[in-house]
Structure 1
């Protein structure tokens, strides 16, 4: 068990794709975690398949490095890799409680981004000092001095004190495995990340928790093992914990006396069983089935309850429903409302930023999260596990403040080519946003502003279309403002299938003349399924399964070669952004389909008529 003064707990803060997981790879490799002849993958902390595919960190991870310094001292450095996307801020806020300092990682070309601001603000709020690491200094468009100035301005804007403003700066290339104090001294790069680890020892304080006294442990995250059940992860804030000792779990619903199981300390990328863990260190504990995130674990003699970690409220909600389409149950293993509810309940154990409520029917659930990516990742995980579910359009969570309904506003940043800046600004204005600044960054233009959260739904796709696929949008929650009037986000109507069958080339050739199709010949379609985007603003009922009528009359001309425009294939997030209020996305392990909530054409017409009568009645 290392002494508290030989421990450093450090969290890494960075925007998506600024290279924090790659830098951790270099620290692990140079500390001797991997054998020289061992095979290993890049981005070892991104162990979730979704993280590897998307190149983002979704779940925070812990790893421990025993770093040997030149004076012979061995320091236990607990590295906490945090998500870089604000949608996973529930993870960020909890894991920062385990740290005593932070590495603020920024891209040498892009500089600090909106979500860097979000996480850094949380860290400064609990008194953590930053070490600034300018990463990717080997990029051709690196602007190192300007980025350091931007970090200083950001800290001033966030209200940092003089101590935090006097931050040390290192210049790094995580890919090449070096972090140095002088970016122009190429000889110093041979030392690898040694200067970074020296700075961690000097600048990050040792845990201030008392080694003597009663046990105090706070749960910051949960894990699960099929053999041992729930595993709680957190930091020993005082005293020490032994395997098998009697403890009290202080939860939201009261106290429960129990006994700890095995205690696992972090070692490299894995965990090692230990008998005792002391103050300041991080560990995982088995056997505490009643403990939840934010709970305090104490000894019997002096049960002191610690304040719970506050988590920002959700800003977006969607309705999850049982799949009632004609293809229901064909692709998935879990299709009933009970199975969907059980899966959502399991997600609530570890995903503290999520909220689940009963929907308007027994077979529907209202699920609230921090953003479209947050809910989209949950749906993608469920899809891969074999679930079928139908989800409605994302809606922003409204809040009543002083008798007035408020909606969330987001701080946004768009990087785009100079010739696309006009269409981008036009999109921001059309969705009720405010442009704050337009600045050149390298050979691109950065447009920053504020926009209502509902204006962001569907905006990413529109920006890509307006910029030839080159615009990059980032955003994070800023504040609550009085809700504005409703607005229509989608200018075009959709084509809705009237038949169930397989789409034919003959039918799609005619339809594609006036629409962008979402299906290709041979794709299965059903009544009520959305098969294309109409060129006008109204919905159009069509038959994509119509086949060519044959006769015994011989045609004079030969069949011409048929050339169909390529169909637009929707990803899950694109489909969720695209649908309107009366539409939904059907998600199965093998397909993502957009559809009308009411499938039958006749019933939809009746619904439209009833809505018009209601509107007329209100007007009178």
Structure 2
């Protein structure tokens, strides 16, 4: 059995793009787990989207065999975490499985919003934090200033700070020594009943669900019958092992170790992150704390562009859900777009990733409806209704109160951008704004905002007005009363349900006018005039027209009396009027996409 004092479980946490995955690459190379020929950048990121965008979407784990300067061989379990706020629940579960963390800070950018958020997550889990200043090779690097920030803003010990350049490998060996020296070994008792925390699960089409777990107490081996404490499901263990670059089976996993369990589980949804595994025959007395269901925040309907692809989309979503338990979906239909699915996502990045994976991996072209959040309606009969789809908006006469979710946004910016950022927050109905100066020249700005105002283009706007220097993080608050209305878009008098959206009354006219203008550009001209309108109930609040194509019916009249021409024009006018009453307008797919793109950016 492996000695517990030679095990170190740690995580790498940082703001997006501060170099987590690159540092993990260098550590893997230093521990000789991969040959030069087999190596590729972002070796732990196994999705194409992760490589292209340079982000980590799924947590990854690897066990590094490291021989320290004193000759002792240690087993270093690295849990690489996503950096984006949409995946913060995965980060928190990964951190709960570790004793320590490396906090990476960019030598040029310094401390940013998610650096703070992730540090607080690490502190909640009582982790020992080693600060690492990365990218010291950049011409704009200011390691001295960043060291001061780490010491003053974050309150971390300056003596623990390590400097490195993950890109060229400078200082990485010193970081591995610091992990062995400063991070504590895991606590636990192999003799106690099994207690293991699930922090991730992925799906293998041949073996079923692969559970990534940290063994807190006890041990598990092939043949054991395990039980999931949140669902009560029982499974027989087929294989256990450690994560190298490939899965490496072992005879058992015992207290302190991080590894995988295969037990013929059919879907990822059965192995929920944060759940506790124990043995059926000798169960532990209580589950580990910290388990909660992941709830979707943003909702959007997905429709296949070709109606024939509906069955393919259904099976693609089922397969995707096997690898992504946070994705939820149910059947939906629209008069304009046919059959589709109403899906729930953790945030806008999660939505983009799912859309991109469906289009790439399953070759399905999609239309998305305007993303929305879940609103709470109090009705006059004292019942409560949760609505995330404009189609389910209740009768206004039966509504007594509408509430929408609010968030607390934390924005870190250089001082010179204070005015434009405050204006942006005010435009988005921000309230209770506060700010303080963590260091000279930098402002931490907190503001309470409706989540619906943030999910469209808030982050993109923030990045552009601060020239890339603004960083953004948020936490969910509570539901608050709001004056919401259902905005309908009518084309030629017909409501296009796929373009309906729930908006605040103060934004309704601007949003409606924007959608009308966008549709005017996209809808092809007909032989009759087409009215495009935005309405709240029966009240039209914005309108524009697609003017009619005009055939020159007087071309055959050469000279003669003007009444001949007038008679032909009157005849044409009457024909167009009749055509308009029976004329049906086909809205091209590009029009839906144009309106969505306008709303999303």
CA distance in 1, matches of 2:117, 2:377: 24
**Alignment match, 1:60:** 59
Q: 1:270 to 1:313 in 2, by over 3 A?
A: closer
203-212 or 399-408: which moved more? 399-408
Among 151, 154, 174, the residue aligned to 1:195: 174
**Alignment match, 1:98:** 97
**Alignment match, 1:318:** 299
Deviation, structure 1 residue 475:
2.7
CA distance in 1, matches of 2:554, 2:166: 69
For the pair 1:260 / 2:252, whether they are aligned, the reply is no
CA distance in 2, matches of 1:10, 1:171: 18
CA distance in 1, matches of 2:212, 2:589: 36
Deviations 1:102-144 (A, max 9, x none): 1111112222222222222222112111111111223333333
CA distance in 2, matches of 1:61, 1:393: 32
**Alignment match, 2:166:** 174
CA distance in 2, matches of 1:176, 1:352: 36
Q: 1:200 to 1:499 in 2, by over 3 A?
A: closer
2:189 is paired with a residue whose SS is coil
Among 248, 256, 277, the residue aligned to 1:280: 256
Q: Is the 8 A contact 2:153 2:438 kept in 1?
A: no
Q: 1:9 to 1:70 in 2, by over 3 A?
A: same
Matches within 5 A, 1:58-207: 58-155=57-154, 168-179=160-171, 193-207=172-186
Question: Is there any run of 5+ residues in structure 2 with no aligned partner, and where?
Answer: 379-383, 385-400, 484-503, 535-540, 557-586, 597-601
CA distance in 2, matches of 1:464, 1:239: 48
CA distance in 1, matches of 2:412, 2:221: 51
Q: Is the 8 A contact 1:220 1:234 kept in 2?
A: yes
Q: Is the 8 A contact 2:107 2:143 kept in 1?
A: yes
1:213 is paired with a residue whose SS is coil
**Alignment match, 2:388:** none
**Alignment match, 2:246:** 270
39-48 or 470-479: which moved more? 470-479
Question: Is there any run of 5+ residues in structure 1 with no aligned partner, and where?
Answer: 157-163, 180-192, 508-526, 531-536, 554-583, 597-620
Deviation, structure 1 residue 439:
6.6
Structure with bigger helix share is 2
Among 212, 216, 220, the residue aligned to 1:233: 212
Q: 1:441 to 1:206 in 2, by over 3 A?
A: closer
CA distance in 1, matches of 2:32, 2:552: 72
Tell me the TM-score normalised to structure 1 length. Answer: 0.69
Q: 1:90 to 1:347 in 2, by over 3 A?
A: farther
For the pair 1:211 / 2:215, whether they are aligned, the reply is no
Among 363, 366, 377, the residue aligned to 1:386: 363
Matches within 5 A, 1:440-455: 448-452=445-449, 453-455=451-453
Q: Is the 8 A contact 1:155 1:165 kept in 2?
A: no
Q: 1:335 to 1:129 in 2, by over 3 A?
A: same
Deviations 1:440-498 (A, max 9, x none): 999x976733241223222345456656x656552322533634542418565244558
What is the CA RMSD across the aligned residues, in angstroms? 4.2
Q: Is the 8 A contact 1:424 1:463 kept in 2?
A: yes
477-486 or 115-124: which moved more? 477-486
Count residues in correspondence: 500
Q: Is the 8 A contact 2:11 2:81 kept in 1?
A: yes
For the pair 1:542 / 2:543, whether they are aligned, the reply is no
Matches within 5 A, 1:280-359: 280-289=256-265, 291-293=270-272, 294-304=274-284, 305-307=286-288, 309-311=290-292, 314=295, 316-323=297-304, 327-329=305-307, 334-336=309-311, 340-349=313-322, 351-356=324-329
**Alignment match, 1:488:** 507
Q: 1:278 to 1:540 in 2, by over 3 A?
A: same
CA distance in 2, matches of 1:136, 1:407: 38
2:190 is paired with a residue whose SS is coil
CA distance in 2, matches of 1:368, 1:303: 35
Q: Is the 8 A contact 1:497 1:543 kept in 2?
A: no
**Alignment match, 1:250:** 228
Deviation, structure 1 residue 92:
1.0
Q: 1:78 to 1:214 in 2, by over 3 A?
A: same
CA distance in 2, matches of 1:585, 1:69: 64
Q: 1:306 to 1:251 in 2, by over 3 A?
A: closer
CA distance in 2, matches of 1:317, 1:105: 29
2:593 is paired with a residue whose SS is strand
CA distance in 1, matches of 2:521, 2:169: 58
Q: Is the 8 A contact 1:411 1:475 kept in 2?
A: yes
Deviation, structure 1 residue 63:
1.2
Deviations 1:29-73 (A, max 9, x none): 1111222x4252222122211111111111110112111112211
Deviation, structure 1 residue 500:
9.5
Deviations 1:161-183 (A, max 9, x none): xxx7687211111112122xxxx
Q: 1:314 to 1:81 in 2, by over 3 A?
A: same
Q: 1:431 to 1:422 in 2, by over 3 A?
A: same
2:164 is paired with a residue whose SS is strand
Q: Is the 8 A contact 1:152 1:165 kept in 2?
A: yes
